[in-house]
Amino acid sequence: MQNGILVYCEFENGSPRKTAYELLQKAVALGAGPVSALVLGSGDTSSLGANGASTVYQVSSPHLASYSTGAYVKALAAGIVASGCSTLLAAASSPARDAMPRLSARIGAGLGVEVTDLRNEGGKVVGRRPVYGGKALVDVRVQSALAMFTVRPNSFPIAAPTGGSAPVVAVDAGLSDADIDVRVVETLAPANKSVDLTEADRIVSGGRSLKSKEQFDAVVRPLAAALGATAGASRAAVDAGYAGHGEQVGQTGKVVNPSLYIALGISGAIQHLAGMRTSRVIVAVNKDAEAPIFQYASYGIVGDLFEIAPLLQKELENLK
């Protein structure tokens, strides 16, 4: 009989990503059985036990050096078998969005995607996710013996590690060259060193009202830097060439879930709201008092962003 929760912990540059600690600690809080971690590839697993994992299952193989759908799906399936889990949690990252549906189909397990909350109902994990662009929330109950969920980053707080260690169990997934769909020949580091939008705790986004790339760079990025935030953009700003597609927030860009979201000159189109409506605090700056964004903002400032943003930046810099 399957029991417990297995957390797929993603790594970056040899260390667990923030989402690994977020999901491990939430899994422990659910109290739905023992919590274990699944690591694909090499990396330092020593911190996983301190954040809640009782066991670390690690699939080490040169075929996992870079993401490949076939290899990762096969490795995830092997980790599930080795752990005997009843629930699998993964961050709603780009690799997981690709691999988890395929894994679901391969092993016949139900999958809840992009959930922002989890709870324990009689030993069974239930997810909750936004629908209709965030206008409503629905519960996701998986009927299969194994329940799988992808969780939107920043859905749960991260506490200080409690200490402790976890034994590492090596898992052989039987990977071969036949499991590699794509071969990575070169990886280029991004010029932007800020936190990825999907994991950012604070975001400052600009819209088409910035009027040019030069003004976007002169207004949005300095304010983001003063706040320790990541810069984002609306689709209109990206289409106009003010920012790159990797910075686009919205239904056709990145779905974000920060503690603070500042929208500068963004009207609040449905496409954009679908990507940021679950932000805990939304601050909107717009000259149009009737802009739809104000209906969803925690705080609204009706005014010229070219005047407001520098004032906010100055006050933040004075606090340092």
For the chain, which residues make up each domain, given as ranges? Answer: 5-179, 197-319
The residues that bridge with 148 in the sheet, in sequence order, are 88, 111
Mean pLDDT of 257-270: 96
5-179 is a CATH 3.40.50.620 domain? yes
The backbone region for 295, taken as left when phi is positive above 0, alpha when psi lies in -120 to 50, beta otherwise, is alpha
Q: What is the DSSP string of 25-74?
A: HHHHHHTSS-EEEEEESS---HHHHHTT-SEEEEE--GGGSS--HHHHHH
Chain segment 8-45, per-residue pLDDT in tens: 999 998 999 999 999 999 999 999 999 999 999 999 99
- Of the pLDDT bands very low, low, confident and very high (cuts 50, 70, 90), residue 186 is confident
Q: What is the mean pLDDT of the chain?
A: 94
- Of the pLDDT bands very low, low, confident and very high (cuts 50, 70, 90), residue 2 is low
Residue-level pLDDT at 264: 98
CATH class of the region 197-319:
alpha beta
- Taking the mean position of all CA atoms in its chain, how far away is CA 262? 18
The pTM is what? 0.86
Residue-level pLDDT at 162: 84
Answer yes or no: same fold for 5-179 and 197-319. Answer: yes
Rounded Cα distance between 20 and 140, Å, is 22
Residue 1 has pLDDT above 50, yes or no: no
Residue-level pLDDT at 192: 66
Rounded Cα distance between 185 and 15, Å, is 22
Residue 71 has pLDDT above 90, yes or no: yes
